[in-house]
Structures are given as C-alpha cells and as structure tokens.
Amino acid sequence: MELTERLARERRARLAAERLLEQRTRELSTANQRLALHARALSDQIVEQRAQTRFALSEAETLKGQNSRYQQDLQRVRGAVAMAETRLWESLDAIRDGFAVFDSGLNLIVANRAYCASFGGLRVEPGMSYRFLLETLLARELIEIGGEDPARWLDRMMNRLDLDPIPPATLHFTEGFWVRLADRRARDGDLASLAVNTTEQMRIRAAIEAIADGFVLFDREDRLQFCNQSYRDIYAASAPALQPGTTFEEILRYGLRIGQYPDAVGREEEWLAERMREHRGLSALGEHQAEDGRWIRSIDKATPDGGRVGLRMDITQLRAQAEALETARRQAEAANRAKSAFLANMSHEIRTPMNGVVGMAELLCDTGLNDEQRLFAETIRSSGEALLVIINDVLDYSKIEAERLTLHPEPFDLERTIHEVVMLLQPRARARGLDLMIDYDVLLPTRFVGDPGRLRQVLTNLIGNAVKFTETGHVLTRVVGIETGPGSRQLHVTIEDTGIGIPPEHLDRIFGEFNQVEDERNRKFEGTGLGLTITRRLIEHMGGTVWVDSAPGKGSSFGFRLTLDLAEAADPIRPPVTIRSALVVDDRFINRTILERQLTPCGIEVVLCRSGAEALAAVEAGGRFDIVLTDHEMPGMDGVTLAERLRAAGLTMPILLLSSSPTQARAHESAGLLDAIMQKPLLRAELYARLREFTEDLPEPQPEPEAPAPPPLSKARQMRVLAAEDNMTNQLVFRKMLRDLDLDLAFASNGREALALWESFAPDLIFMDISMPEMDGKEAARRIRAAESERAGPEAGGGRPVPIIALTAHAMEGDAEAILAAGIDLYMTKPLRKAAILKALADHCPADARLSTASAADVAPAGVDTG
Ligand code: ADP
C-alpha cells in the first residue's frame, strides 16, 4: 500500500507535472511569441537608438573640442588679467603718491606702498578703518593739529567724507612733512584715497607766511587761493572772510556788511562796482592807509594762469623817512636861499664902491696922462670892469638861487636887441678879424613882449662866449620863429661859432654851476663859469629851454627856444619899392645869403658876387643895377676899391659899403665915392631905411619907432639937471662925467635938499640916489609927485611932471617895484656909465632947452660903433 499509494501519488504528481509543463510550454511559447514581437520592436528601437547615440556621440565629440578651446582661451584671459593686475599694482606701488581703496564701510581694502608709507611710522594694513588710521595718528602724536581739540578735529576730518565733493585735508606731521589727503567716492560706495606729500609747497607757504609783507593769491575765477597772516593783519576786519575759495567780491561784500568802508556807506553797490573795476584794472601800484594807521603799498600782478598775485608792503617807516628827508631838504634849501640872499646883498654892497673905482678910472683916462699913467689908469678901469662882471654874475646867480629874481616883461624889439649886443662885442671881434653876423628870419616880426634886459644878458653871454672862444672865422646869430598862436611865436635863437669847440664829455654839464672846460686850450680864458648857468636859469625862468651842440676844433652852437607874445600885429615888410635890382658883393656865403633873403621879399632882384672881380664882370656883361651893396674887407679887391672901379667905369648908381670898421672905411673913402657906409652886421630896419632913402617917388617913410629924435642944436636955455647923491666921490664922478656938457647942474646931499631944490631950481631932470641920510630917494620922489599933483589941481594949468631917474646899487628884486611905486620913472644901477647918462639926458631934454656938447655923437641912438 504504501508503495501503491506512493506510486499513485507519484503518477498523479507526474501527470500534474506534465500538465503544468504543457501549460508552461504553452505559456512559454506565447511568451516567446510575444517576446519575439517585443524583441523585434526592441531591436528596431535599438537600431534607432544606436543611430541617435552615434549622432549624439559625434556631436559630443565636437562640443568637447570646442570646450577645450574655450577652456584654453579662458585660461589665457585669466593669465592676462592676473598679469595686468600685477602690473597695475606694481605701477601704483612705484608712484610717489599714495593710493588706497576703502570699502563702503571705510575699511581699507588695498593700498599701494606709498600710501602705507605716507603716515610716518604708522603701519597701514588692509582691514584698518579710516577713522582708526586718524585716531592712531592722533594717539601716537604723529601729527600736529594746531591747537584744535582732537575730538573735534577727528569729527571734522570724518564729517568731510559725507560731503560731495569731499574737501581735501592736509596733515602736518611732527617730523616736518605735510601730506594732503584727496578722497573721492566711487560709484559702488568705495572710497578712493590719494595721499600726496606737499612738503615742498608747504615750505614755500611757510616761507610766504614768514615774510613781513602781506601776500595774497587769487585764481582765475577770482577765488582766494592763499593769503598769509601779514595780509590778514592788514585787512584785520575782513580776516574772517579771507578763507580759501572765497571770491574777491564776497570778501568785499563781507567788509560792506560789517561797515568796514566808511566811503561806501549809502552807495554800496556803486562802491563795489568801482572797487571791482579797479581790481580788474590791476592798479599796479598804490598806497593806502590800513585800518591800524599803517601805510601800505600794494603791488598787484597777473599770474600766467589768469589769476592775480598781490604784495602788501608796510611803508610807514619809509614814508616817515621820506618825510624827514623832505623836511631836511626844505631846511637845507631855505638855508641855501638864505646864503644866496646874503651873497646877493654882499655883491651888491661891493658894487657901490666899485662905482667910485670904475668911474674915477674912466675920468682919469680922459685927462692928460703920459703913456705909463694911461696904461695904469686903463688897467684900473678894465680890472674894475672885469670885477664888476664877476660881481654881477654872482649877484644874478645868488638872486636866482634865492628865488628873488622876477622878470619885467615889456614890448621890445628882438632884432634890435640882438643887434645892440653884437655891436657891443664888435670891437673885440674886429680885433681878431672875426665876422659877426645876424640872420634874422625875414618873415618873423621883431617886436615881442619879454624882459629885454634879461634877454640881453643871455645874448651877451652866449655871443660873448662865442667871440671869446673863437680865434678865426665867424659868429652867426640866427633867429627863426614858428607861429604857436595868433599872438605868439616860438623863437629859436642859435649862436654858431667856428671856435675851439667843447669836448663831448663836457657837453652835458656845461650848463651846470661853476663849470668850465678845463684843458690846455682854454685855460687862458678867464671867467666865473657862471654865465651859462645863469643863461639856462634865466631861459628856464622864461619858460624856455637851452641846448648846445659842439665839435671840438670845429665850433659850437648854443641855442635857446622861447615862446614870446607879439608886441603888435605882425609888422609887414615895407618894401623900398622902386629899387628893382641889387648887386651884392661879399666873400662870405652866409652874408650873401642873408642879404639875399632880406632883399628878395622887397621885390628886389639880387645878383650875388663873391668878389670885386666877379662884380665888375657882372657889370661889364651888361648887368644893370639900381644899387650896389658891397662888403668892405674882402680878399683881393676890397669894397672901397671896387667902388672906385665902378665909378671909374662911369656908373652912378648908389653904392653902400658894409663894414665892420666904418671909421677906417671913412678914412679911405674919397668924397662922393660911397653913398653910405653901414656898420656890420646890418640891422634890417636900418638897411630898409637906407634903401628907402635911395628910393624916389615914395611917400615920406615913417620914422622908426625906436629911433629917438636927435635934439635940436640951437635952443634957448641950458638944461637944468638935479643930482641927489650923498656920497662925495660919487658926486665927483657924476660931475666929471657931465663936464663936457653945457648943463645947469645942481647937487643935493639928501632927499630933503632934493625936495627943496625941486621947488627952487625947477630941474628938467632929476637923478636920484636911493639910499641917502635923513630922507631917502624914494620918499623924496613920493613927495615931489604929491606936490606936483597938488599944483596940477583943476584950476592950475600945472607943469609937466619932472622925469626922475633913480640911481641905485639896490639891484635886488623887490627894490625895483618899490622904487617905481614911489613915482620914479626909470632906474639905473650903479656903477653909472657915461653913455647911459648921456642917453638919459638926450631922452629927457625938453624942447626949449639945449644940450650942446662936443661929445654929442655919444648921445646917438644904439647902433653906432661904440668901440
Ligand atoms: P665863463 O664865465 O667861464 O665863460 P660860462 O658859464 O659862460 O662861464 O662858460 C662855461 C665854460 O663853457 C667856459 O669856460 C668854456 O669852457 C665853455 N664854453 C662856453 N661857450 C663856449 C663856446 N662858444 N666855445 C667853446 N667853449 C665854450
């Protein structure tokens, strides 16, 4: 059983297994079929996948290649950036200025080496804050903050970082250097900080601070850049406004607000505009008084960049010194004037006794003397006169120095004055054979208003010098004039000579005091060396200028320029009409030219000849002349011989001989040969007068205004002359001088006597000494005038007032006015000259009196040969 059962079970089991197998096989086959389907689908998929994978793979390969290139590029870029960064920092490290970057929290990120080294011994490291940096500088006392509270300073330094732009700040290190911090915010909030060592600039600033003068610098926008303490001290009231960056206008406005400028009150804007104009005008130099009373000199200059730099100097002391100097100068000048006045008085006192010396010597010469005595007397006279010239120079000079010289302008004839001066010098020139010439511009009027006495003095000195320093040749005085207005002319007067000349090194001081050219050539000439000084001062006193030009060995030319008013309407030249042609003979070119210029404007045709021979040839060639003007002394044939030859040829026209020595010519001339002998140089008016004489059919020529009518010869009575003079010597001199005249002469010894004699003697002319005892000459004259006007009351017919001529040694100015104010007509200064007294007598001889003398010729008007 067991076995069967077991077998049964086994068969059942086998059957079941076989059924299961069968079922499984079926399932498997189904599954296989499905699998095969799936496998097919899968393999399709795989094929596709594979294709895709292959594509993806190839794509990946490409990308991989690209990627590695990118990687390489990136690598290179990174390298370059790193390199640049290194270079940048190396460069930043290399520069002298410090550079650092702080983050927005103001902690240091990075700094170059200079920045780290900028803060003295302090170690600056990344991470350190800006504040900590400053705190440490303070704590270690590495910097100087000029007495400011450290906490406040720190706040100020930090607070500035909030401003935009951040104002720079300068740290002054105790070690003696300065660092300027210039900070700036970056866009991301970082702070870039620049630290520049400004020690050099600060040294200059410190130096500018140290100078005593105020210094200020404005930039081109007129903003204050810098000013030192001295400047602040000068403008103390405005000092608070003197902050860097403030404009000039703001500073002024500040001053206006605090009422600093009194002259601006009420017109502030106008004042400001004025000041700004001045400021822009850069008034280069000015002086003003500062608020504290100091005197300040300002110098302002533009800087090359358009700004302005100014200096303010305290010149208080300088001004005080200058004032002290000025006072001292005034005192010295006053002392000098006092000395000059003393000198003037002295020289004037000396003149009085000189009157006796010269006058007596002159008289002595007129007496019967043997040759030796005459020599002595002449020597006394000439020495006395030489001494007088010197005294006169000293007197004039002293008067000018003492400022006591006044001019007495009056109408006078300039041409005649020059002529008179030349005539007086003629004898001296003649002795040397010098030719004196005058070339007076023919179109220039001759009458002007000026001080004839002083002009004569100038001319005498210049022409006299020319004669003195010229051995041979000529001295030419030339006058030309320029019209400066309807009634005035600017005159140019030059005196040319052909003398020794003046070395150039002496020319510029020739017009100075006491200057004489010292060399062997002119040591023989005497003189005071004052003549030219007086000349210059006189001309300058008249508003003119003097000059000199000279070539040593060739000659000199002195000149002056002067503007004078015309004394009358420009006088027309009155041509001596009917003379149509003239033959002029002179060996000197200048003389020929002068004559030609004087004759041509009269409508005369002039033929010029250089010698007698040429003149004869001109006549022989058929020339017809209405008149011949010939020089006297000429080489070859002289003027007298020429006249003889002309007459011998049967010619009858008038012949005028022009001579430097008419007396000599007259001695040689045979009667009727010459129609006139004229003294050279010719006075134009006289030449014209002579020509008029030879002119027929002309109305009577007007008499020359200057020529006094000669006194008629036979008159009823003697002329009565009263001389008041207390000094016995002078009375004697006077008496002797007049002894040749047929006069009724009375003397008074003082004013009182003079007054009495005026009553009893009824003089035609009174010579009145001024300083006399009891009653002086001025008082006597006053009383005479008073009595005269009483007599000439309405009922009485009254007499002519008696001419009174003062005789005075009082040549000082002021005296002249006082003398004339006393009713005196004229005054003469002592020592008296015979010629002057004779002229006065001739001038004042009344119609019913006679003035007959042996020496009447002496009384002739100026222009005669006085030599
Ligand atoms: P002085 O009284 O000595 O002549 P001045 O002042 O008149 O004084 O002249 C000064 C000097 O100038 C003279 O001494 C002379 O040396 C020089 N001088 C003046 N005029 C002339 C001239 N025309 N020619 C040469 N030298 C002259």
User: Is the distance from the beta carbon of residue 469 to the nearest atom of ligand 1 less than 6 Å?
Assistant: yes
Instruction: Classify residue 523 by its DSSP letter.
Output: T
List 297's β-bridge partners, or say none: 287, 313
CA nearest neighbour of 585 among 627, 648, 621, 644: 627
Conformation bin of residue 474: beta by default, left when phi > 0, alpha when psi is -120 to 50:
beta
User: Is the distance from the beta carbon of residue 466 to the nearest atom of ligand 1 less than 6 Å?
Assistant: yes
Query: Long-range contacts of range 524-528, CB-CB < 8 Å, 24 or more positions apart?
Result: 525/468, 525/469, 526/386, 527/468, 528/390, 528/393, 528/394
- Rounded to whole angstroms, the Cα distance separating 446 from 608 reads 26
Q: What is the pLDDT of residue 782?
A: 92
- Rounded to whole angstroms, the Cα distance separating 756 from 762 reads 10
Residue pair 812/348 in contact by the 8 Å Cβ criterion: yes
Confidence of residue 164 (pLDDT cuts 50, 70, 90): confident
Probe residue for ligand 1, chosen from 436, 458, 494, 502 as the CB with the greatest number of ligand atoms within 8 Å = 502
Atom of ligand 1 nearest to the CA of 500: 25
User: Is the distance from the beta carbon of residue 502 to the nearest atom of ligand 1 less than 6 Å?
Assistant: yes
Find the 516 Cα to ligand 1 centroid distance in Å. 6
List 657's β-bridge partners, or say none: 630, 677
The SS3 of residue 377 is: helix
User: Is the distance from the beta carbon of residue 528 to the nearest atom of ligand 1 less than 6 Å?
Assistant: yes
Quick one: how many helices (H) and strands (E) in the chain? 24, 29
Please tell me the residue having the least CA distance from ligand 1 atom 7: 531
Atom of ligand 1 nearest to the CA of 466: 23
User: Is the distance from the beta carbon of residue 527 to the nearest atom of ligand 1 less than 6 Å?
Assistant: yes
User: Is the distance from the beta carbon of residue 556 to the nearest atom of ligand 1 less than 6 Å?
Assistant: yes
User: Is the distance from the beta carbon of residue 400 to the nearest atom of ligand 1 less than 6 Å?
Assistant: no
Q: Which two tokens stand for residue 827?
A: 């005054």
- Rounded to whole angstroms, the Cα distance separating 51 from 774 reads 168
Atom of ligand 1 nearest to the CA of 525: 14
- For residue 863, pLDDT beyond 50: no
Tell the burial category of 309 from Cβ atoms under 10 Å away from its Cβ (0-12, 13-18, 19+).
middle
Instruction: Kindly state the percentage of the chain with pLDDT values over 70.
Output: 90
Residue pair 813/404 in contact by the 8 Å Cβ criterion: yes
Instruction: Classify residue 518 by its DSSP letter.
Output: -
For the segment 756-779, what is each residue's pLDDT rounded down to a tens digit? 999 988 999 999 988 888 888 889
Over residues 538-552, mean pLDDT? 94
Q: What is the pLDDT of residue 860?
A: 36
Atom of ligand 1 nearest to the CA of 529: 8
Q: Which two tokens stand for residue 765?
A: 């002319």
Q: What is the pLDDT of residue 541?
A: 92
- For residue 796, pLDDT beyond 70: no
Please tell me the residue having the least CA distance from ligand 1 atom 14: 516
User: Is the distance from the beta carbon of residue 500 to the nearest atom of ligand 1 less than 6 Å?
Assistant: yes
Find the 531 Cα to ligand 1 centroid distance in Å. 8
The SS3 of residue 127 is: coil
Find the 530 Cα to ligand 1 centroid distance in Å. 9
- For residue 829, pLDDT beyond 80: no
Over residues 718-727, mean pLDDT? 88
Conformation bin of residue 750: beta by default, left when phi > 0, alpha when psi is -120 to 50:
beta
Q: What is the pLDDT of residue 515?
A: 60
User: Is the distance from the beta carbon of residue 345 to the nearest atom of ligand 1 less than 6 Å?
Assistant: no
User: Is the distance from the beta carbon of residue 531 to the nearest atom of ligand 1 less than 6 Å?
Assistant: yes
Residues present in the chain in total? 867
- Rounded to whole angstroms, the Cα distance separating 224 from 241 reads 10
Question: How many beta carbons lie within 10 A of that of residue 110, not counting itself?
Answer: 13
User: Is the distance from the beta carbon of residue 465 to the nearest atom of ligand 1 less than 6 Å?
Assistant: yes
Tell me the backbone φ, ψ of residue 826, rounded to 5 degrees.
-155, 155
Q: Which residues contact 626 (CB under 8 A, 6 or more apart)?
A: 578, 579, 580, 581, 582, 604, 653, 654, 694
Instruction: Please give the angle made by the CA atoms of 848, 853 and 854, to the nearest 5 degrees.
Output: 160
Question: How many beta carbons lie within 10 A of that of residue 407, not counting itself?
Answer: 15
Please tell me the residue having the least CA distance from ligand 1 atom 19: 465
- pTM across the whole model: 0.51
Q: Which two tokens stand for residue 82?
A: 């790193």
Find the 353 Cα to ligand 1 centroid distance in Å. 29
Q: Identify residue 245 by its one-letter amino acid code.
A: G
Residue pair 609/584 in contact by the 8 Å Cβ criterion: yes
List 655's β-bridge partners, or say none: 628
Atom of ligand 1 nearest to the CA of 532: 6
Confidence of residue 285 (pLDDT cuts 50, 70, 90): low
Query: Long-range contacts of range 502-506, CB-CB < 8 Å, 24 or more positions apart?
Result: 502/548, 502/550, 502/552, 502/556, 503/552, 504/550, 504/552
- For residue 697, pLDDT beyond 70: no
Q: What is the pLDDT of residue 699?
A: 42
Atom of ligand 1 nearest to the CA of 515: 10
User: Is the distance from the beta carbon of residue 353 to the nearest atom of ligand 1 less than 6 Å?
Assistant: no
Q: Identify residue 287 by its one-letter amino acid code.
A: E
Which of the two residues, 235 and 490, has the higher pLDDT score? 490
Probe residue for ligand 1, chosen from 516, 518, 530 as the CB with the greatest number of ligand atoms within 8 Å = 516
For the segment 289-330, what is each residue's pLDDT rounded down to a tens digit? 877 888 988 888 888 998 889 999 999 999 999 999 999 999
Probe residue for ligand 1, chosen from 392, 459, 461, 465 as the CB with the greatest number of ligand atoms within 8 Å = 465
User: Is the distance from the beta carbon of residue 522 to the nearest atom of ligand 1 less than 6 Å?
Assistant: yes
User: Is the distance from the beta carbon of residue 426 to the nearest atom of ligand 1 less than 6 Å?
Assistant: no
The distance from CA 640 to its chain's CA centroid, rounded to whole angstroms, is 57
Average confidence score pLDDT of the chain = 84
Confidence of residue 143 (pLDDT cuts 50, 70, 90): very high
Kind and range of the H or E run holding 327 = helix 316-365
Probe residue for ligand 1, chosen from 394, 532, 537 as the CB with the greatest number of ligand atoms within 8 Å = 532
Find the 529 Cα to ligand 1 centroid distance in Å. 7
User: Is the distance from the beta carbon of residue 458 to the nearest atom of ligand 1 less than 6 Å?
Assistant: no
- For residue 865, pLDDT beyond 50: no
List 214's β-bridge partners, or say none: 312
Residue pair 522/553 in contact by the 8 Å Cβ criterion: no
3-state SS track over 789-843: HHHCCCCCCCCCCCCEEEEECCCCCCHHHHHHHCCCCEEEECCCCHHHHHHHHHH
- Rounded to whole angstroms, the Cα distance separating 214 from 226 reads 11
For the segment 561-589, what is each residue's pLDDT rounded down to a tens digit? 999 999 876 555 565 557 889 999 999 99
For the segment 831-848, what is each residue's pLDDT rounded down to a tens digit? 777 778 888 888 888 877
Confidence of residue 514 (pLDDT cuts 50, 70, 90): low
User: Is the distance from the beta carbon of residue 515 to the nearest atom of ligand 1 less than 6 Å?
Assistant: yes
User: Is the distance from the beta carbon of residue 529 to the nearest atom of ligand 1 less than 6 Å?
Assistant: yes
Please tell me the residue having the least CA distance from ligand 1 atom 22: 466
User: Is the distance from the beta carbon of residue 563 to the nearest atom of ligand 1 less than 6 Å?
Assistant: no
Residue pair 449/474 in contact by the 8 Å Cβ criterion: no
Pairing relationship of beta strands 447-450 and 410-413 according to DSSP bridges: antiparallel
Q: What is the pLDDT of residue 711?
A: 43
- For residue 545, pLDDT beyond 90: yes
For the segment 373-398, what is each residue's pLDDT rounded down to a tens digit? 888 888 888 888 888 888 888 878 88
Find the 416 Cα to ligand 1 centroid distance in Å. 25
Please tell me the residue having the least CA distance from ligand 1 atom 16: 517
Probe residue for ligand 1, chosen from 396, 425, 457, 469 as the CB with the greatest number of ligand atoms within 8 Å = 469
Tell the burial category of 748 from Cβ atoms under 10 Å away from its Cβ (0-12, 13-18, 19+).
buried
Q: What is the pLDDT of residue 705?
A: 43
Instruction: Please give the angle made by the CA atoms of 543, 547 and 548, to the nearest 5 degrees.
Output: 160
Please tell me the residue having the least CA distance from ligand 1 atom 11: 516
- For residue 640, pLDDT beyond 50: yes
User: Is the distance from the beta carbon of residue 535 to the nearest atom of ligand 1 less than 6 Å?
Assistant: no
Strands (E), 105-186: 108-111, 143-144, 169-173, 177-185
For the segment 60-118, what is each residue's pLDDT rounded down to a tens digit? 899 998 999 999 999 999 999 999 888 888 888 888 889 999 999 999 998 988 898 88
Please tell me the residue having the least CA distance from ligand 1 atom 20: 465
- Rounded to whole angstroms, the Cα distance separating 363 from 279 reads 80
